[in-house]
């Protein structure tokens, strides 16, 4: 296989996404991106005229995507400290099927993508793509939706969306084509001031899974907002959530016809001490699995969400 030969010695075997080796899901070519001055031993500075190897990395993620071959399972490795600015719609377009973009580094050393115009976006428009361990930042107030998913079987793994200047209007936005999207171990680090509608806005789609979510922000509509088109068989579990908005909603189905299984292991902190525990999850056709705990005032202990419990039918 040509791809692993482009890894530094001994590196490829340690790369896993939730226990699955990357060499299994993405056995294709490997390309490297690095905008920093910290270079590989014997390496040269980044340029899109380079070969895209560890020693001769490309300068931008979008250029690296253009070098990939659809459905070969190519990998783009993005070095620690890499930074990129997105100033327009689809400024980074993941439009080649089966590509994985892997950010290296931890904390603030993760590759950072900064959105500097209200309409700027990174798009996932090809099926079976993955982004992992990227820091996505709002560099201007009211970025409408920095990350847009419009293809099937995509994965967003261990990424962070963070407000830096003002507030993003929405964090992740899907279309009805984002069937079987998986959002895994995701963080939304929002501003405390008003200006955000939703951390994740879902428009249609089937079988979307959100598993492992830390979300904090001022959500005028809800942390997760199902809008415009009903979604089916949504799964949401393993969540720590805080809202700074008196709407006090974690999950809302504005279509009122979406279906899904919500829970277990949801821990929801609301903003005010009002009759809002039941309404923290709003959707008449969802079902809830405990434990779903809700607290709505400081110095209080959370209670199990007070939805009506199922009972055994009497024949």
Q: Which residue has the higher pLDDT, 9 or 178?
A: 178
pLDDT band of 216, cuts 50, 70, 90: very high
Is 49's pLDDT higher than 60? yes
pLDDT digits (tens, 9 = 90+) for 263-297: 999 999 999 988 799 999 999 899 999 999 999 99
Q: Which residue has the higher pLDDT, 312 or 124?
A: 124
pTM over 0.85: yes
Is 2's pLDDT higher than 60? no
Chosen CATH of 70-304 out of 2.60.40, 1.10.8, 1.10.12, 2.160.20 = 2.160.20
Is 94's pLDDT higher than 50? yes
pLDDT given for residue 13 in this prediction: 56
- Candidate from 10-14, 254-258, 270-274 with smallest mean pLDDT: 10-14
Q: Please check whether residue 97 is in contact with residue 65, taking contact to mean a CB–CB distance below 8 angstroms.
A: no
Q: Please check whether residue 45 is in contact with residue 32, taking contact to mean a CB–CB distance below 8 angstroms.
A: no
pLDDT band of 68, cuts 50, 70, 90: very high
DSSP characters over the chain = --GGGGSPTTTGGG-EETTEEHHHH--S-EEEE--SS---TT-----TTS--SSSS-BS-HHHHHHT--TTS--EEEE-TT-EEEE-STTSEEE-STT-EEEE-SSGGGS-EEEE-STT--EEE-STT-EEES-EEEE-STT-S-SEEE-STT-EEES-EEEESSS--SEEEEE-TT-TT-EEEEEEEE--SSS-EEEEEEE-S-BS-EEEEEEEEE-EEEEEEEE-SS--BSEEEEEEEEEE-STT--SEEESSS---EEE-SSEEEE-SSSSS-SGGGEE-TTEEE-S-EEEE-STT---EE--PPPP-PPP-
Q: Which residue has the higher pLDDT, 257 or 14?
A: 257
pLDDT given for residue 275 in this prediction: 77
Is 12's pLDDT higher than 80? no
pLDDT given for residue 175 in this prediction: 98
Residue spans per domain, the chain: 70-304
pLDDT given for residue 11 in this prediction: 57
What six digits make up the tokens of 122?
């990174």
pLDDT given for residue 274 in this prediction: 84
pLDDT given for residue 4 in this prediction: 43
pLDDT digits (tens, 9 = 90+) for 151-195: 999 999 999 999 999 999 999 999 999 999 999 999 999 999 999
Q: Is the bond leading into 291 cis (omega within 30 degrees of zero)?
A: yes
- C-beta atoms surrounding 9 within 10 Å: 5
């Amino acid at each position: 296989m040509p791809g692993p030969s482009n890894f530094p010695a001994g590196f490829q075997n340690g790369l896993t996404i939730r226990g699955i080796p990357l060499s299994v899901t993405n056995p294709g070519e490997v390309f490297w991106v690095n905008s920093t001055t910290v270079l590989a031993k014997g390496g040269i500075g980044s340029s899109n005229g380079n070969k895209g190897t560890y020693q001769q990395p490309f300068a931008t993620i979008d250029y690296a995507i253009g070098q990939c071959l659809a459905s070969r399972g190519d990998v783009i490795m993005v070095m620690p400290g890499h930074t990129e600015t997105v100033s327009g719609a689809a400024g980074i377009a993941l439009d080649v099927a089966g590509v994985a973009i892997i950010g290296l580094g931890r904390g603030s050393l993760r590759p950072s993508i900064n959105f500097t115009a209200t309409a700027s976006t990174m798009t996932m428009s090809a099926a079976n793509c993955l982004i992992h361990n990227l820091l996505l930042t709002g560099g201007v107030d009211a970025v409408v939706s920095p990350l847009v998913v419009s293809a099937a079987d995509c994965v967003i793994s261990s990424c962070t969306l963070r407000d830096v200047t003002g507030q993003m209007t929405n964090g992740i936005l899907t279309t009805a084509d984002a069937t079987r999207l998986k959002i895994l171990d995701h963080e939304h680090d929002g501003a405390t001031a008003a200006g955000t509608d939703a951390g994740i806005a879902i428009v249609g789609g089937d079988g979307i899974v959100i598993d492992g979510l830390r979300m904090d922000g001022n959500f005028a509509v809800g942390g997760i907002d199902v809008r415009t088109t009903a979604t089916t068989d949504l799964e949401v579990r393993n969540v720590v959530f805080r809202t700074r908005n008196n709407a006090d909603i974690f999950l809302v189905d504005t279509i009122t016809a979406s279906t899904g299984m919500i829970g277990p292991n949801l821990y929801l902190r609301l903003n005010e001490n009002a009759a809002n525990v039941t309404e923290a999850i709003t959707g008449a056709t969802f079902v809830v699995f405990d434990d779903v705990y809700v607290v709505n005032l400081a110095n209080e202990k959370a209670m199990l969400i007070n939805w009506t419990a199922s009972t055994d039918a009497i024949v």
